[in-house]
């Protein structure tokens, strides 16, 4: 079977977002179309398309006659997104709860364990990748494509999680608390407590006190 190729625009999108995540582009920085063309060896068309998409997704500002600049994601934006994500993620968990298979439960257990190992090793970025997989496991079982798309759109706001504002020990402690929440979510799934997992995800896991670590 022929492998489906991603549009070139998507590769450019990933390249720019990865530079933001790595701190190579910060809030207020100008994003040069030509520099990206040169770095990736592509024409201006896919670069322009990617920049427009990044602006649409809220990462960049498209300034008339001045080009694109990194918008950033401040505390107020982060709190607002947390307030929206809590109910959406909670509803996805509620819908997925009776539909999760034993294989899904085993996968969630594996991911919780993997996050513990990442924390023990101080692998903060690795932890973040795994926790996304944890949530994606039950998002994909919720049976509501529109809900899943809404969550996916909002998740793009978390292009960068900034634990660099605290020391490594504190960051790992905070992640340990977050993963204890993942473990409890798993317990609620195992008990098939749809209402309980919805309320816990909404009210505890997406507590706005944690929004500060998504500011960039």
3-class secondary structure per residue, the chain? CCCCCCCHHHHHHHHHHHHHHCCCCCCCCEECHHHHHHHHCCCHHHHHHHHHHHHHCCCEEEECCCEEEECCCCHHHHHHHHHHHHHHHHHHHHHHHHHCCHHHHHHHHHHHHHHHHHHHCCCHHHHHHHHHHHHHHHHCCCCCHHHHHHHHHHHHHHCCCCCCCCCHHHHHHHHHHHHHHHHHHHHHHHCCCHHHHHHHHHHHHCCHHHHHHHCC
The CATH class that applies to domain 75-214 reads mainly alpha
Is residue 127 pLDDT above 50, yes or no? Answer: yes
Are 108 and 134 within 8 A, CB to CB? yes
Pull the structure tokens for residue 155: 């998740």
Residues of the chain with CATH 1.20.120.530: 75-214
Mean pLDDT of 113-121: 95
Q: Report which of 45, 79, 77, 44 is spatially closest to residue 59, judged by C-alpha positions.
A: 77
Say whether pLDDT at 21 is over 90. no
pLDDT band at 2; cut points 50, 70, 90: very low
Residue 121 has pLDDT above 90, yes or no: yes
Residues 179 and 119: their CA atoms lie apart, in Å, by: 9
Angle separating helix axes 33-40 and 8-21, nearest 10 degrees: 110
Is residue 14 pLDDT above 90, yes or no? Answer: no
Confidence of residue 19 (pLDDT cuts 50, 70, 90): confident
Q: Is the pLDDT of residue 177 over 70?
A: yes
- pLDDT averaged over the chain? 88
**pLDDT band of 157, cuts 50, 70, 90:** confident
- The confidence band for 66, taking pLDDT boundaries of 50, 70 and 90, is confident
In this structure, of 97-106, 110-119, 157-166, the range with the lowest mean pLDDT score is: 157-166
CATH 3.40.640.10 at 8-70, yes or no: no
């Amino acid at each position: 079977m022929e492998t489906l190729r991603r549009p070139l625009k998507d590769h450019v999108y990933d390249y720019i977002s990865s530079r933001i995540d790595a701190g190579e582009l910060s809030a207020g920085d100008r994003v040069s179309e030509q520099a990206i063309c040169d770095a990736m060896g592509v024409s201006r068309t896919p670069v322009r398309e990617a920049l427009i998409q990044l602006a649409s997704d809220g990462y960049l500002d498209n300034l008339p006659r001045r080009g694109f600049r990194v918008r950033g994601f401040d505390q107020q934006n982060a709190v607002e997104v947390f307030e929206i994500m809590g109910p959406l993620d909670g509803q996805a968990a509620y819908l997925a709860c009776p539909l999760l298979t034993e294989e899904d439960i085993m996968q969630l257990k594996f991911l919780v364990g993997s996050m513990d190992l990442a924390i023990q090793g101080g692998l903060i970025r690795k932890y973040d990748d795994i926790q996304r997989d944890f949530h994606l496991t039950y998002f994909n079982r919720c049976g509501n494509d529109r809900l899943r798309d809404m969550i996916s759109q909002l998740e793009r706001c978390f292009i960068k999680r900034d634990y660099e504002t605290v020391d490594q020990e504190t960051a790992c402690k905070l992640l340990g608390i977050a993963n204890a929440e993942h473990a409890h979510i798993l317990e609620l799934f195992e008990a098939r407590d749809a209402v309980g997992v919805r309320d816990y995800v909404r009210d505890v896991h997406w507590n706005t006190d944690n929004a500060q670590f998504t500011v960039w």
